[in-house]
Amino acid sequence: MKNLLFGSLLILCLSGFSQTTVKFNITNLTVGLYDLQVEHALTDKHALQLGVGFMPNRDMLFERILVEAQSYQLESYEESLFENMDFNGFRITPEFKLYTGDDGAKGVYFDIWAKYSKYSLINPAYAQKYDTYVPGVNNVNDFKFDASLINISAGIGIGTQWFIKDVIAIDVLWLGVGFNQALISAEFTSEAGDVNWEKWKEDAGDFSNYGEVEYSDIDNGLKATIKPLLPLALRSSISIGYIF
């Protein structure tokens, strides 16, 4: 990943570009992601762009929907693991643009893009209730949950970029389509000695509806590795920037 970022920056810095535009992706603000894009025009038709996005610590996206869905599926939960969960991450998106006009890096363009993103989810404590092998002991209130989502995708797209008095740029990516590969790694742990982890796996069986799931034992808990069934990647965005 470091090599991809370094290589993209090196190409942008050393290329004999005639125009530089710094843009801010306003679409991603709706989910708390701050995404800065730098585009360098190499010719009247060709440009390279690098986007770097950062999401500071925030509440889980769609928290209420996930909490309600889990309350129906998993009867053993007293408190959903999605409540009080922290969510943060970053992404890097290098792109190559081919403009169809002859008047600089504006107008309709075709886009070849790749994207790497990683997001972390942390819940320091939530409650579950189990039937255990210890008579009279069935309440466990100190579960911990840590997970990461790594997503790699690549594809093509089509968009339009307008200039206002050669100072302000408005870039609309109408649609990007590509292939997607994701991997979720989640760890569930508890210091309590009476946790029935086999019962936990039965409750979590619905995870298999979303992709391939593998479980492995770790200290004081379980690790779940999930490969979601999300082969299609879609992109769309609106960015506003300044032309140098």
CATH number at residue 85: 2.40.160
State the Cα–Cα distance between residues 111 and 176, nearest whole angstrom: 8
pLDDT tens profile 41-85: 988 889 999 999 999 877 666 665 566 655 555 555 555 556 667
**Does residue 144 surpass a pLDDT of 90?**
no
Average of pLDDT values for 181-205?
75
**Does residue 129 surpass a pLDDT of 80?**
no
pTM value surpassing 0.75: no
C-alpha distances in Å from residue 142, one per residue of 79, 114, 115, 125, 217: 11, 40, 36, 5, 18
Q: Which domain holds residue 115?
A: 2-243
Length of the chain: 244
The answer to whether the beta carbons of residues 240 and 173 sit under 8 Å apart is no
Least confident of 38-47, 99-108, 233-242: 99-108
Least confident of 15-29, 34-48, 99-113, 169-183: 15-29
Domain total in the chain: 1
pLDDT of residue 137: 42
State the Cα–Cα distance between residues 97 and 108, nearest whole angstrom: 10
pLDDT of residue 36: 95
